[in-house]
Structure 1
């Protein structure tokens, strides 16, 4: 009887913890970008943020939504994708506003120019929205035709998480190219890392499709590499100033 009572008491607590974990999964994806958003607003400088991160995450989460259509996993992960897409669009909108304010050139690069050299370097936010709409329409058409194919659905999921796993790579490469992590802080990267560790643990505990756990593991490794860059370049900057 005692064991039964303890089990009954634990039930609501476990449900509450599960609900809190789901909420953190949905909202938590946006939290690491809050300090970066505030820093760009404060400094009116986008140098420390790579918009390629937005490109990678937008593609990954649009693909993940269509993966969910073919293989219904947790609703939490679907909502997470929606929140991430909105977050990346907010970051792009801010970057466009800041860059247009700071730009001394009257020449604007548009999606309609079809110039590969300026792909994802457009000056108008609506072009990014148009790109997302076009990608979504293409995915919808292909998914409708191949929805009954289990191989296609699994490949779609693998492609989605492969893009997501690489999300830190543009930032890593930009830091290496600039020999600087200006606009980034240890606190910011630790937030990214903590979020990815929590996310990966959630995938494992909830037995999400294996693609998600693999993605989380790769993201943690890239986060650690970026953290080492922040520590190294900040130390190097202090030595030069000294």
Structure 2
């Protein structure tokens, strides 16, 4: 999965608005009364609703970008006999903005990464509704991309089950708390009486976050070697 072709970046369209100046009426002429609300045409009402929705989407996207930023902390972790968990945080001390559990075993992903570059793609469907003709049509998503609950998972182009968004529970919180002082690296957290989940394997790194549209985001692991390609990339796509 190539970096350049894995994202469906939408181009920004610039709309030009024409402003008109209100001219004061001559003193000898009676000013025209302001149009009543009943004179507003249905077409203008629809245009007003469309502009309002567009502003809402742009404002929401701007808030999301500013909240998480373009540099994030990504952590892969899981018990030796368990599944991969992937957490995205603004910084090591903040709660996860995105936490997903994949069907892939952590041991399998470690082997995959040892053999070369890894590209993980998570896909979900846009919401649909019935149109007047009885068919289906897509509609504007009501949730942010990172809030989607279920994902189809692909690793280096091969389908490998599904991923599910998780809330950060007690066990996940303890793992991330234990890794607060780790800026990047890989290792094993030994089993404790509190965890009861066996040794936990982890890998942490900084990721570059690229937002293509409300329906596409990508996270590229930042390699300390500036000449090297990212060893791990994660793509979120709503199609």
Q: TM-score range by the shorter chain?
A: under 0.3
Between structures 1 and 2, the one with greater helix share? 1
TM-score (norm 1): 0.21
The structure that has the greater radius of gyration is 2
TM-score (norm 2): 0.21
Q: Which structure has more RCO (C-alpha within 8 Å, separation ≥ 6)?
A: 1
